[in-house]
Amino acid sequence: MKHSLFISDLHLCPERPQATLLFEDFALRTASQAEALYILGDLFDYWAGDDDLTDPHHARVARTLAGLSQSGTAVFVMHGNRDFLIGEGFARAAHVRPLPDPSLIDLYGTPTLLMHGDTLCTGDATYLSFRAKVREPAWQADFLARPLAARKAEIEQLRRQSESDKQQKSMEEMDVHPGTVAAILRAHHYPRLIHGHTHRPARHRHEIDGHDCERWVLDSWYDHGSYLRCDAAGCKAIQLKY
Ligand code: LP5
Ligand code: MN
């Protein structure tokens, strides 16, 4: 049966080789059977710029994706909050198609909205103001003009800051805001929604203006290794073994 797969929050990096090995196995054995693989953000632990393809680990991930695409599976990559600097260089090397956030697709007859999920967390004011800054094209051009090693050092510092800031934030603040979810579902005419980012895998039902909307939250790959499989009959979360 024709089907598509959805994953997010892989956080691949040389320091977690098990997650990368599991991804390679998944690409070869599972995703190669699907029509399409949608990676909904945070494929990498962080992405400092496309010149980071010089890292053998990153080049290996790109080769895995290119192999998958050459085997006949369409691969789509959406930016996450950690790898929004993925650009055309990576897309070319990995043979993947960039996927805007949000993207509304027809998934075997069901309109389905795909997002990373960070923009649904509107209670997290410090994150959103940081996000607004780093998504400015001028800021990005400036940042990318600096040497790779300096960018990586700055990102490491930002990671530490982010981890300590997160200690001060409540679970509610870091989850999706119900009003924002309702507004986005309404704006897109009540689709099914699939997103990641919050690392709180679940299937939610939202009753909006008399419409019953399904919202799937993807699991974080680096923790559990799981994916969502959707076909004309619906979606199902599948857990891989580590
Ligand atoms: O990723 P996760 O789930 O752990 O946390 C996110 C939010 N944190 C981030 C930061 C990333 O994890 C760090 C890696 C990004 C690499 C990007 C590369 C290019 C940018 C380089 C900039 C130097 O996204 C976290 C959310 C959490 O999700 C839940 O939704 O709460 O947000 C934060 O913790 C952000 C802080 O609250 C604010 C940080 C401000 C730091 C400002 C100093 C850095 C100066 C950068 C120049 C603008
Ligand atoms: Mn994320």
Q: Give every CB contact of residue 118 below 8 A, 6+ residues apart in sequence.
A: 41, 80, 81, 127, 131, 197
**Looking at the domain that runs over 4-240, which CATH code has it been given?**
3.60.21.10
Give first-to-last CA distance, the chain, whole Å: 26
Q: Where does ligand 1 bind, in terms of residues with CB under 6 Å? A: 46, 81-82, 85, 118, 121, 124, 126-127, 130, 133-134, 154-155, 158-159, 161-162, 165-166, 169, 174
**Res 224 pLDDT > 90:** no
Task: Pick the closest to residue 50 from 84, 17, 25, 22 (CA basis).
Answer: 84
Q: How far is CA 22 from CA 39, 48, 195, in A?
A: 15, 23, 21
The rounded Å distance from CA 73 to ligand 1 centre is 32
Cα 51 to the center of its chain, rounded Å: 21
Residue 241 has a pLDDT of: 73
What confidence tens digit (pLDDT) does each residue in 93-125 have?
A: 999 999 999 999 999 999 999 999 999 999 999
On average, the pLDDT of the chain sits at 97
Q: Where are the domains of the chain?
A: 4-240
The rounded Å distance from CA 82 to ligand 1 centre is 8
What confidence tens digit (pLDDT) does each residue in 34-88 have?
A: 999 999 999 999 999 999 999 999 999 999 999 999 999 999 999 999 999 999 9
Residue 242 has a pLDDT of: 64
Q: 15-23: long-range contacts at Cβ-Cβ below 8 A with a sequence spacing of 24 or more?
A: 15/45, 16/45, 16/222, 18/242, 19/221, 19/222, 19/225, 20/57, 20/60, 20/61, 22/221, 22/225, 22/240, 22/242, 23/61, 23/64, 23/221
CB of 36 within 8 A of CB of 73? Answer: yes
> 224 or 49: whose pLDDT is higher?
49
**For ligand 1, what atom is nearest to the CA of residue 46?**
16
- Best residue among 162, 165, 174, 221 to mutate for probing ligand 1's pocket (most ligand atoms within 8 Å of CB) is 162
What confidence tens digit (pLDDT) does each residue in 155-172 have?
A: 999 999 999 999 999 999
- List residues, by chain if needed, whose CB lies under 5 Å from ion ligand 2: 42, 80-81, 197
